Amino acid sequence: MKKQLFLLITLIVALTLVAACSGASAPAEEVAPAEVAAPVEEAAPAEEVEESAPSPPAEPKAMAIQRDANDPRSIDPQQAIDTRDWNLLAQLFPSLTELDTETHEVVPGAAESWDISDDGLVYTFHLIEGLPWVRYNPDSGVVEQVQDENGNARVVTAHDFVYGYLRALDPATGSPAAYMLSPYIAGATEFNSGEGRPEDVAIEALDDYTLQVTSPEKVGFTLAIFGLINARATPQWAIEDGGEAWTELETINTYGPFTLKEWIHESEMTFIKNPFWPGSAGIQPAKLDEITFRFIDEVVGLREYEAGSLDVTLVPGDQIERIRTDSELNSQLKVVPGTCSGAWGFHNQKPPFDNVHMRRAFTFAIDRETLVKDVLAGGEIPAPFFTPPSITMAPSGTDIGDLGIRYDPDKAQEEFEMGLEALGLSSADELPPITMEIGTSPVLSAIAQALQAMWLEAFGVQVEISQIDNTVYWAHVEEDAGQIFRAGWCPDYNDANNYLRDVYRSDSIYNYGKWNNPEYDALVDAARVETDPAKRLEMYTQAEQLLAVEEAGNIPLYYSVRAQLTKPNVKRTFSLTAIEHYWDWDIE
């Protein structure tokens, strides 16, 4: 039976993933140095002296990067939601703190430094002084400082951060990440829920360059919270003038190491270096002059990379082995261990997955080893729990023994029979139609068809696949997720709390499957503030076991890696957080 399943999955992958074109691009031509005229030995009449040819202007350092198909959901910090949004807006609107992409250490962003009170509740940030708001002027072709109505340069102040934070927390804004920010600022949860006032939120501009934030309780990772996707200064005047379209080229104001130069919707976005960004300990001035982000999937990206029109692209899993055996491309390939969790979800309020035995049956029937080896084929790791092992306080990073979800066909069949009995059904034919919802991606399609084959073999149940355009997928899932849907998570900060409490607590807006377990809520609430690491890890282990196995509230599948091709002349970092700091990149 296992061999038959392997052959079926192999056939599915072959039919689903489009092979990228082969053939390596030619190396860039070297630019010859400009010739300099020989010195004149004797003075000659002015009209007879030949001037040396002027040196040609230096070529701008520019690169093109593949960044998934379709537009980002938003580059408005208070409206953005996913890692692609974050990757883009992080270059434009630095937060107070940043996570180092390779060490997860909290480093300065728009704040040069900070002080923390002895009780661990009051955070005082000292901002970069004189940092101007800027915009690209397409008429002059340069980045310009934004001026106020009196002709004075606008600079980023603590008041701009107060405005951005309160805008994120205002329930009228509907900021997707407000749920994560609000517990760490006194009065913010009440304001965000509609029961408090903005003036009672404990964030204050002590002067133009000093921001003070008071937390209601001491939590070890609070400093990293001030680097969240929505915790950023935003320009009140531009938002009031431009409305929802304020992030378009004509009205956007930014202050980071890059600013927006061009946006061809559904095609590409170009950033240009901001010469007015002075740099901080965590965000240096950009080395690149321009970056163009191409909105194409990795299949198209690989084809264009090999044709020489891209400098960086992700690689489809089915192409990794071909690239590894290519004498030229092999040296350009890097497979980066990630901190993202590849997981899918059950809607716990839609039949038949409102029944715990059905949820358990379907997740026990998934052969994760086969999935990562023969479908993804990129070095991914089968996931027994939701939180990846590289995250602080992740149980999967310790010896969990027999805990966690594993492939168990006998257990799957047992749970399936119990589910049928609990639902008053005599056979699988009596189950309601089941649909699995995914975005438009070749990789997602391959995973979905592999799961479809596994469930068909295990239970004789035909699960239908519904592909929803990426531009509306997450909005659809937020509003009304299907019976089975693609979920997953990448970290906002380095702690298991970000995966377990922020996502699967019963009242989380990211708990799209509406799973609700009071015991789980109590565990993750207690673990968040526990100061003993051993006790905290124990609580998270119990919570993971509840989520993934006992209640099967979600479907952990794998811990992701990112296979990337980078041209040899590109000097770059490889982020473990999935958020790239492009200001660190260069062209040699």
Return the CATH number at 507.
3.10.105.10
Q: Is the pTM of this model over 0.75?
A: yes
Q: How many domains does the chain have?
A: 2
Peptide bond preceding 533 in cis form (omega within 30 of 0)? no
Residue 225 in domain: yes
Q: Are residues 132 and 277 in the same domain?
A: yes
- 265 and 363 share a domain? no
Amino acid identity at 205: A
* 76 assigned to some structural domain: yes
233 inside domain: yes
Instruction: Identify the residue whose tokens are 């400093």.
Output: 223
| 546 & 463 share domain | yes
Number of C-beta neighbours around residue 482 at 10 A: 22
Together in a domain, 410 and 491: yes
Contact at 8 Å (CB) between 316 and 443? yes
* Same-domain status, 102 and 241: yes
Tokens of 501: 């409490």
Domain-ending residue, one of 263, 294, 325:
294
Q: What range does the domain containing 103 cover?
A: 71-294
CB of 317 within 8 A of CB of 444?
Answer: no
Q: Is residue 521 part of a domain?
A: yes
Separation CA 419–CA 403 (nearest Å): 22
- In terms of domains, do 347 and 277 share one? no
Same domain, 369 and 274: no
pLDDT at 53: 53
- The answer to whether the CB of 493 falls within 8 A of the CB of 357 is no
Residues in the chain where the model's pLDDT stays below 50: 1-51
Domain identity same for 341 and 201: no
pLDDT at residue 478, as a whole number: 87
Tens of pLDDT, residues 343-383: 999 999 999 999 999 999 999 999 999 999 999 988 899 99
Last residue of a domain, one of 294, 327, 358: 294
**Would you say residue 314 lies in a domain?**
no
365 and 428 together in one domain = yes
Query: Which structure tokens are listed for 345?
Result: 């979800």
Beta bridge partners of 122: 214
pLDDT the model gives residue 7:
38
For residue 54, what pLDDT is reported? 58
Is residue 63 one of the residues assigned to a domain? no
CATH number at residue 210: 3.90.76.10
Kindly state whether residues 244 and 354 are assigned to the same domain: no
167/232 same-domain check: yes
pLDDT digits (tens, 9 = 90+) for 414-452: 999 999 999 999 999 999 999 999 998 888 999 999 999
Same domain as 519, residue 459: yes
Rounded distance, CA 455 to CA 186, Å? 47
**Inter-residue contact 528 to 497 (CB < 8 Å):** yes
Burial 214-223 (b: 16+ CB within 10 A, else e): bbeeebbbbb
Last residue of a domain, one of 241, 264, 294: 294
Domain-embedded: residue 307: no
439 sits in the region (left: phi over 0; alpha: psi -120 to 50; else beta) called beta
User: Residue 512's closest CA among 544, 489, 536?
Assistant: 489
Evaluate whether residue 35 is within a structural domain.
no
